Amino acid sequence: MMKNRSCKTRQGHSSMSDVDITSLTNDRVKFLVRLQAQSRVRRREGLFCVESEREYLRAVEAGFEVDQFYFCRDVMSDNDLEGLLGAVKGVAPLSVSETVLAKISYRQNPQGFLGVFRVPGRGGEEIQWPDDALVLICSGLEKPGNIGAIARTAEAAGVTAMFIDSAEFDVFSPHAIRVSTGAVFSLPIVGMDAEGIRRIMVEKGISMIALSPDGDVGYTDLELRHSTALILGAESSGLSEEWRSSATVLAAIATGGKVDSLNVSVSAAVVLFEARRQRGTGGR
C-alpha cells in the first residue's frame, strides 16, 4: 500500500481540522487499543481488527462483516482508500491522525487504516464435507503464531477444515491473522472440546491419524487419499492419551541428527503436503 503524506482527499488537502479523531485519550482509541491487545475483549465484543490490505480484502471476500473503519489521510493514497471502501457498504469511515493510527495499530509500520470486523459464529455447520475430506486437529496449542502458521499451510494444502480442541482459543488475534496472511478467514476453523471434535469425525467417517515422535509408522507410509484427520499436539507436552487412543495410527516424521522432532507448524506442512501429493492436485 502506497504512502503519500501530501495526498489530497475528496475533501481537499489533508489538515488536522479534517481529521475526526486526533486525541489519544479518545474513547474509541482506548477501546481499539484494548481490542488489539486483549483476547477477552475480542471474545466479549465479538470483534477483531485487520490492518493489512491483503488480509482485509480476504476477510471481505470470505464474507466477514465490517463493523468499523478508520483511516489516516496522511498515510493512505486516494486510490488505496477507495479500493478498501469499495468493498464495504453501510459503514461510515472515520479519519484519524498519524499519531492515533500508530497508537491503535498492532504493526510497527501501519499501512494507513484499521478495519474492525465482526466474529462469525463457527460451530462447524458451515463446513462442506467432500468424500475425501482432509481435516487438521490441533490439540493443546497456545501460541497464536503457531496457529496462524498452521492455518496458512492448511489453507494452501487444501484442508477441508481445521479444529482446535478449545472453544476459548483466539483465532483472530492480530498475530495469528498476520502470520496466517488471512488464511484464518478462508479456512473453516472451529474451536470446540475434544469430545465434540471426535464425535464429528466419527459421524463423518473420518479416520484419525496422530502425529508423534514415537509413532510406529512413517508418514510416507500413510494412506492419505481418503477422508483423514491429522492430529497435532503441542511441542512441549505432545498429545494427550485420549487423542492418542482415538487415533487409528500413530505416525512419525523421521529426523536426522540429534533433533528428534520438528516445530509443530513444520510437521503440519510436511504431512499435509504428502497428503496433497498422494491426492494429485489436492483441494478443498
Supply the pLDDT for residue 247. Answer: 96
Supply the pLDDT for residue 5. Answer: 35
pLDDT band at 150 (very low <50, low <70, confident <90, very high): very high
Sequence-distant (6+) residues with CB within 8 A of 126 are 188
Average pLDDT for the chain: 89
CB atoms within 10 A of CB 262: 16
> Picking from 19-33, 39-53, 60-74, 80-94, which range would have the lowest pLDDT averaged per residue?
80-94
Instruction: Flag whether pLDDT at 2 surpasses 60.
Output: no
Instruction: Flag whether pLDDT at 139 surpasses 80.
Output: yes
pLDDT, mean of residues 217-245 = 92
Residue type, 222: L
Element (H, E) at 81: helix 78-85
pLDDT band at 281 (very low <50, low <70, confident <90, very high): low
pTM listed for this prediction = 0.86
**What pLDDT, in 10s, does the model give residues 166-221?**
877 889 999 999 999 999 999 999 999 999 999 999 999 999 999 998 899 999 99
**What is the C-alpha to C-alpha distance for residues 82 and 62, in angstroms, rounded to an integer?**
20
4 secondary structure, DSSP code: -
Half-sphere exposure of 41 (CA within 13 A, CB side): 13
Q: Give the dihedral sign, CA 162/34/119/61.
A: negative
Query: What are the C-alpha distances in Å from 221 to residues 201, 249, 278?
Result: 22, 11, 11
Instruction: Report the residue count for the chain.
Output: 284
* High-pLDDT (> 90) share of the chain, %: 70
Supply the pLDDT for residue 41. Answer: 96
Closest CA to 124 of 54, 42, 206: 206
Supply the pLDDT for residue 122. Answer: 73
Per the CB < 8 A criterion, the answer to whether 50 and 87 are in contact is: no
DSSP helix/strand/coil, 188: coil
**What pLDDT, in 10s, does the model give residues 40-71?**
999 999 999 999 999 999 999 999 999 999 99
pLDDT higher at 80 or 23:
23
Instruction: Flag whether pLDDT at 260 surpasses 90.
Output: no
138 secondary structure, DSSP code: E
Give me the domains of the chain, ranges plus CATH numbers.
8-118 (3.30.1330.30), 134-278 (3.40.1280.10)
Q: Taking each helix axis from N to C terminus, what angle separates 53-61 and 78-85, rounded to the nearest 10 degrees?
A: 20
pLDDT, mean of residues 231-246 = 89
* CA max distance for the chain: 69
**What pLDDT, in 10s, does the model give residues 98-133?**
999 999 999 989 999 999 999 987 777 889 999 999
